Amino acid sequence: MTDSGRYLIHDHPILTVPDTGTVEFTWAGKTLTARRGLPISSALFANGIRTFGHHHKDGSPQGIFCANGQCSQCSVLVDGRPAKSCMVLVEDGMKVEPLNGLPSLPPVATVDVAHAASPTDAALVATASGGESGKAADRAAHAATTEMREPEHRSCDCLVIGGGPAGLSAAIEMGKAGVDVLLVDDKHALGGKLVLQTHKFFGSMADCYAGMRGNEIGHLLADEVKTYDNINVWTNTNAVAVFSDRKVGLVRDGKDYVLVEPKTLLVAAGAREKSLIFRGNSLPGVYGAGAFQTLVNRDLVRPAERLFIVGGGNVGLIAGYHALQAGIDVVGLIEALPECGGYKVHKDKLVRMGVPIYTSHTIVSANGKEGVESVTIAGIGPDWKAIPGTERSFACDTVLVAVGLDPVDEFYHKAREFGMNAFSAGDAHEIAEASAAMFSGRIQGREIARSLGCAVPDTPVEWAAKEEVLKSRPGNQGREFVPEKQEGVVPIFHCSQEIPCNPCISVCPIHGITTGDDIRHTPKFVGEAIGARCGGCGQCVSICPGLAITLVDYRKDAENPVVTIAHEFGKEAVKPGDIVDVLDTMGGWLGRCEVLKVRPGVIKLPDGKDEPEAEIAAIADAAGLSDEGDGAAERSTSAENSDARAAREVRAKAAPYLMQNAKQTYKLLLQAPRPIATQIAGIRVQKRTVTEPMDLYVERLTDDTVVCRCERVMAGEIRALIRAGCRDVNEIKTATRSGMGACGAKTCGGLIERIFAEEGVRREDVEKNVGRPFFVEIPLGVFCGVDLESSPGNEATLGAAPGGGTISTVRDSATSNVDVDASKGSGGASRVEAEQ
Amino acid sequence: MSAYDVIVIGAGSVGTPTAYFLAKAGIRPLVIDSAASVGQGASKAAIGGVRATHSDVAKIRTCLASLDVFSQWEEEHGDNIEWMQGGYSFVAYRDREEKILKDLLVVQKAHGLGIDWIERDELLGMVPDLEPNGLIGGTFSPGDGSASPLLATHGFFKKAVELGADFAFRETVTAIRTEGGRVVGVTTDKGRFDAPVVINATGGAARAVSQLAGLDVPVQPDSHEAGVTEPVARFLSPMIVDIRPDVGSKNYYFYQHRTGQVIFCITPDPPIVGEDRRETSEFLPMIARRMVRLMPRLRELKVRRTWRGLYPMTPDGSPIVGWAPELKGYVHAVGMCGQGFMLGPGLGQLITRLVREETTEEDRDVLAGFAPEREFAAMEALK
């Protein structure tokens, strides 16, 4: 066994590793193997290759950045043709090479009829007009007859761009209403970013599948969409432009250009990650959380050995947890603010597993030559600048940048500008949690159906309220509630920050947990008040998305109670008899305890008699709806019944997933001394040595900081223009080419805004970038329906041209040009037009 | 209120180099534009071709001067405007186009232009990716070339500012003030400026701006769409122009820019009259079909971005440049018919001499061709 494929994940605590066999391909002449079904980028990562080429302008190393088909920085040569490695699946025998400098445009052999040099050529010509058969001749004939196709034109009631939580939820509502929907997504599978989320979701079980893992919710929604005959789903389809004639351009399977004229348009295209300006920010190994999760959770490769995370929002915190689950060391996480913006339970989870979180810190540089070798951070002073002398460097191979998201809303704005009946939902409308996106989608789905004249039930007034609640930022930070009584079994909630989440309530068989009148309040055990005792079933432990509930069981030995904690690192990670470091919520070390038992989690399903209605009422109260007048109350009541029904349906659908995923959340039973038992929130996963800083401050290796990655434009150039009086992003584009690269300003757009802000220019004084088609680069041949048989990325035909051979075609294009009547038009026969 | 020697309305392909040459000659100009920065109208929509191989003397001379400016700019100013002397090639696949081009060649050669007819095989040697079947030959003019309209216009702007020109962006001229048949200045939405000379260089808005001075110029914009691809290693040198008509379009043209990107544009038929610059769904399928037929290798070239720009057209396809006969001090520099970028530097020099009253004999020939008071009758063969 060679090293080949050594960064493949073979065992994952949550995900099942698919058994798809092995692919053999070459990279720069060397034979490598990878799991079948991986995109080339992940196949390269599986072999430890993270630098894919060098930029044509300055020779800077290039690698994965978006892993989402948007940025083009992962481009490689596949059988001699340039391709985005993150979008093309690796195949047996593929010859993959680094892309150094500009690629050559692949040649196309044409047969010159007048100069046919050989009998073969002559045969080709003959065959093209219907002669004998023969493989090459067939192909030539095929090429000649199906040489070009007009784009397909079609219409529909609603075109949905994006098959994530919002798009799918909207489609389901429209499915019910009988709307003729075309839903497109650029990935091969539906679910959007849900499919990358292996953690359990927050929210409530009744409304948004709380307790299910994101990928499970993705599957569930996708399955439901497929049950509606009136919903057409096109995966592997890019929406590329919205035109002023109210058509939307789609590219299906990388080859078919389709122009859709929808009556309504729903943009549910999600979000893109913001970037940061720091030295070394374009080194291979610096990328966003989305790319990271794609590599780890979708493709099951270990893209890093030592990861450093920038950003303490939910995205960064969760990515850290995913990294640990994939066996990646998380060296540290920095957050510029004095406190992480993400849910405290997410942060606590990381901290108590041994990941240090540095708040009020910023990244100074990512260091390395061909890729990231280390990162340098520094404390932030009151002036929001790095404090000299506080720099520390850590060895790492990957810097994950998770500093927020921006809506992908270009199509929505274009469509509105062009007078289309356009809607947006989910992150494309407003950045929030996926659970809120589902509500947003449902609401917009009904709204669209209504605008199309379909009979749809009134949208329950609570929906909007719920969406708002689910969007809410973390609220007050309270004290941990520790029951005084230390007997029997006591559930402890290491959950002291107000967030919209309550599945623990729903699974408690004795209805002993409450969040009071607002889903955002922290949960309390109120067994005694209702005359019930906790039986220690542990379902709350198993379902809690924050892994923040423990049980302390005093029944056998009150001085050394048994503490049950949740642990999602697989069955083998911790074994009975192991002595483990136990930590409190904040990661403080409490002592060492013996593991008594390791059990898979269990969730029994609620009997249906618990009260979703109560939850709804609580939410309505929280949103202030109960103060409304009689009319509103009436509507609310009628909606409530249908909503209660809907809630039961949601649960029924979630049930099999919940039962299954609980098993992946192991319950560790530890014996702990009484004084610390209620404080134990988890066990250390990562050794301290992993997170120690390097001895030396690593000197920066580059002085320039890249703003536009595609065109290698440095911050200094842009700053100089702004200081010279420039107040127009278009002028920056004109003078520096910033934003004129393959990605179309998707990354530098936000960074340029930041530089304007840093320079003290008010937002309203800056002329915005003029958006143009296309959203991603599309081969010319697609627009005229030419078969790009030998292009990488065209799976259906990839095998047709082994070794990347080019195709001979016979053409008589010169004579096939339409000869327009010369008298037509105003100019007469001699009139020819200007060009510039 | 500030006093300037000249006010230029419009900071585009013509107004900006004009300001540069005025400032260079010691004349203090103010350039006013309603956009937020330089070259944000038709200028940045230009694809960058620069040729002198026209068919009338006025354009030929003006563009020869422009070619000098573009080709020497980098050497002179150290400022890369992506100039590349790749030449132009008009290709012929039918007798009809062969005849048009060869007839024209006679006129062009008479003006001493470096342009020749290239037979099929030699042309294929020069542009090997052309569809060989049916190709008769084409013209080739090695002295023509291309530059970046974005960088060039910005370059003129920077140098003009260095030489003392003022630019007022996000400012709209609301009145052109006259006294006793002479222009004395302009009023804008933000203030008033005095100058004895006002130059209208406003492209698509030329007619409306002239009306502020009580004048009329027959300029009517129509729109063309253009696009740019990803960059690839060099495979193509000259600008390729195919003048055959097709359904929905007349000619189209493309070249590989110095950055390695292919830039292309098509002439819609019938023309799309008006100032609408929003993207349409028809453009790419139309031009992709024609380009890939002409050069099959282009089929895998990825389109990066498209846009639509205005061609401020005149009835005869020639610009309108010169003193307004009815109003002293008012200069027309309008109606570029889609060639403002290539005409701009040459016109800038010409207008500077006009304002300084230093025009030469040759200039007067050129100005006769562009005269505002001319009869707009004959249509130029190859505008």
**B133 SS3 class:** coil
Q: Which of A665, A683, A669 shows the shortest CA–CA distance to A543?
A: A665
Quick check: B364 pLDDT over 70?
yes
Report CB contact under 8 Å: A148, B243: no
What is d(CA A551, CA A112) in angstroms, rounded to the nearest whole number?
A: 81
Residue B339 CA, chain-centre distance (Å), reads: 2
Mean pLDDT over B292-320 rounds to 95
Residue B246: its chain A contacts at CB < 8 A? Answer: 817-818, 820
Low-confidence ranges of chain A (pLDDT < 70): 1-3, 110-146, 605-644, 695-703, 789-836
Amino acid at B24: K
Report CB contact under 8 Å: B244, A830: no
Report CB contact under 8 Å: A824, B247: no
In DSSP terms, A779 is beta-bridged to B302
pTM of the model: 0.86
Report CB contact under 8 Å: A835, B265: yes
What is d(CA A90, CA A68) in angstroms, rounded to the nearest whole number?
A: 16
Report CB contact under 8 Å: B133, A767: no
List of residues 6+ apart from A645 with CB closer than 8 A: none
Residue B276: its chain A contacts at CB < 8 A? Answer: 244
What is d(CA B379, CA B383) in angstroms, rounded to the nearest whole number?
A: 8
- CB–CB of A207/A650 below 8 Å? yes
According to DSSP, residue A459 is labeled P
User: Backbone phi, then psi, for A690, in 5-degree steps?
Assistant: -60, -35
Report CB contact under 8 Å: A835, B288: no
Q: Which of A566, A23, A72 shows the shortest CA–CA distance to B304?
A: A72
Residue B253: its chain A contacts at CB < 8 A? Answer: 835
Report CB contact under 8 Å: B36, A816: no
Report the complex ipTM. Answer: 0.92
Give B197 to chain A, closest Cα distance, Å: 27
Substitution target from B59, B130, B303 for chain A, most A beta carbons within 10 A: B303
What is d(CA A716, CA A205) in angstroms, rounded to the nearest whole number?
A: 50
The tokens for A288 are: 């966003």
What is d(CA A726, CA B154) in angstroms, rounded to the nearest whole number?
A: 12
Residue B304: its chain A contacts at CB < 8 A? Answer: 742, 744, 774, 777
Residue B299: its chain A contacts at CB < 8 A? Answer: 108, 779-781, 784, 786, 788
Give B241 to chain A, closest Cα distance, Å: 8
A813: nearest CA partner in chain B: B293
Helix or strand run (H / E) with residue B62: helix B57-77
Q: How many CB pairs under 8 A join A and B?
A: 249
What is d(CA B17, CA B32) in angstroms, rounded to the nearest whole number?
A: 14
Report CB contact under 8 Å: B303, A774: yes
According to DSSP, residue A59 is labeled -
A151: nearest CA partner in chain B: B285
Buried b / exposed e along B329-349 (16+ C-beta atoms within 10 A): bbbbbbbbbbbbbbbbbbbbb
Alpha carbon distance, N-terminus to C-terminus of chain A = 61
- CB–CB of A97/A77 below 8 Å? yes
Tell me the CA distances in angstroms from B332 to A94, A322, A535, one per residue in order: 62, 67, 92
The tokens for B160 are: 């003009």
- CB–CB of A684/A579 below 8 Å? no
Query: Residue A338: exposed, middle, or buried by beta-carbon count in 10 A (0-12, 13-18, 19+)?
Result: exposed
More confident residue, A815 or B88: B88
Q: How many CB atoms lie within 10 A of CB A824?
A: 13
Amino acid at A222: A
Report CB contact under 8 Å: B37, A112: no
The three state secondary structure string of A800-822 is: CCHHHCCCEECCCHHHHCCCCCC
Task: For each of the domains in chain B, give its residue range(s) and CATH number, in order of start.
Answer: 2-68+149-219+316-369 (3.50.50.60), 85-143+220-310 (3.30.9.10)
pLDDT of residue A632: 41
Report CB contact under 8 Å: B129, A744: no
Residue B281: its chain A contacts at CB < 8 A? Answer: 241, 243, 245, 247, 249, 259
List of residues 6+ apart from A120 with CB closer than 8 A: A136
User: Backbone phi, then psi, for B230, in 5-degree steps?
Assistant: -65, 160
Report CB contact under 8 Å: A731, B134: no
Do the bridges between strand A361-367 and strand A589-600 make them parallel or antiparallel, or are there none, so unpaired? Answer: unpaired
What is d(CA B317, CA A835) in angstroms, rounded to the nearest whole number?
A: 12
The three state secondary structure string of A260-300 is: EEEEEEEECCCEEECCCCCECCCCCCEEEHHHHHHHHHHCC
Q: Within chain A, how many helices (H) and strands (E) appear?
A: 23, 38
Residue A246 CA, chain-centre distance (Å), reads: 29
Q: CB-CB: which of A104, A784, A829 is closest to B289?
A: A784
Alpha carbon distance, N-terminus to C-terminus of chain B = 42
Mean pLDDT over B70-87 rounds to 96
Report CB contact under 8 Å: B281, A809: no
Report CB contact under 8 Å: B292, A781: yes
Say if residue B270 is preceded by a cis peptide, omega within 30 of 0. Answer: yes
Residue B279: its chain A contacts at CB < 8 A? Answer: 241, 243-244, 772-773
B301: nearest CA partner in chain A: A779
Substitution target from A105, A147, A813 for chain B, most B beta carbons within 10 A: A105
Provide the phi-psi class of A793: left if phi over 0, else alpha when psi is between -120 and 50, else beta.
left
A816: nearest CA partner in chain B: B293
A113: nearest CA partner in chain B: B133
Q: What is the pLDDT of residues A3-41, one digit of tens each?
A: 577 899 999 999 999 899 999 999 999 999 999 999 999
Report CB contact under 8 Å: B299, A781: yes
- CB–CB of B322/B331 below 8 Å? yes
A125: nearest CA partner in chain B: B133
Give B213 to chain A, closest Cα distance, Å: 30
- CB–CB of A663/A656 below 8 Å? no
Report CB contact under 8 Å: A81, B300: yes
Residue A783: its chain B contacts at CB < 8 A? Answer: 284-285, 288-289, 303
**A760 SS3 class:** coil
In DSSP terms, A567 is beta-bridged to A666
Q: Which of B148, B203, B146, B153 shows the shortest CA–CA distance to B319?
A: B203
Report CB contact under 8 Å: A105, B233: yes
Give B147 to chain A, closest Cα distance, Å: 11
The tokens for B308 are: 């639509």
In DSSP terms, B166 is beta-bridged to B30
**B186 SS3 class:** strand
Tell me the CA distances in angstroms from B208 to A524, B191, B315, one per residue in order: 73, 19, 17
B45: nearest CA partner in chain A: A836
What is d(CA A522, CA A763) in angstroms, rounded to the nearest whole number?
A: 39
DSSP string, B206-254: HHHHHHHTT-----EEEEEEEEEEEE-S----SEEEE---BTTEEEEEE
More confident residue, A626 or B115: B115
List of residues 6+ apart from A20 with CB closer than 8 A: A35, A36, A37
What is d(CA A276, CA A476) in angstroms, rounded to the nearest whole number?
A: 29
Tell me the CA distances in angstroms from A739 to A391, A729, A752, one per residue in order: 32, 9, 10
What is d(CA B321, CA A741) in angstroms, rounded to the nearest whole number?
A: 37
Residue A794: its chain B contacts at CB < 8 A? Answer: none
Q: What is the pLDDT of residues B244-274, one digit of tens each?
A: 999 999 999 999 999 999 999 999 999 999 9
The tokens for A772 are: 């143009």
Report CB contact under 8 Å: A105, B306: no
What is d(CA A138, CA A134) in angstroms, rounded to the nearest whole number?
A: 6
B224: nearest CA partner in chain A: A835
Q: What is the pLDDT of residues A183-223, one digit of tens each?
A: 999 998 999 999 999 999 888 887 788 889 999 999 999 99
What is d(CA B17, CA A661) in angstroms, rounded to the nearest whole number?
A: 69
Buried b / exposed e along A602-635 (16+ C-beta atoms within 10 A): bbeebeeebebeebbbbbbebbebeeeeeeeeee
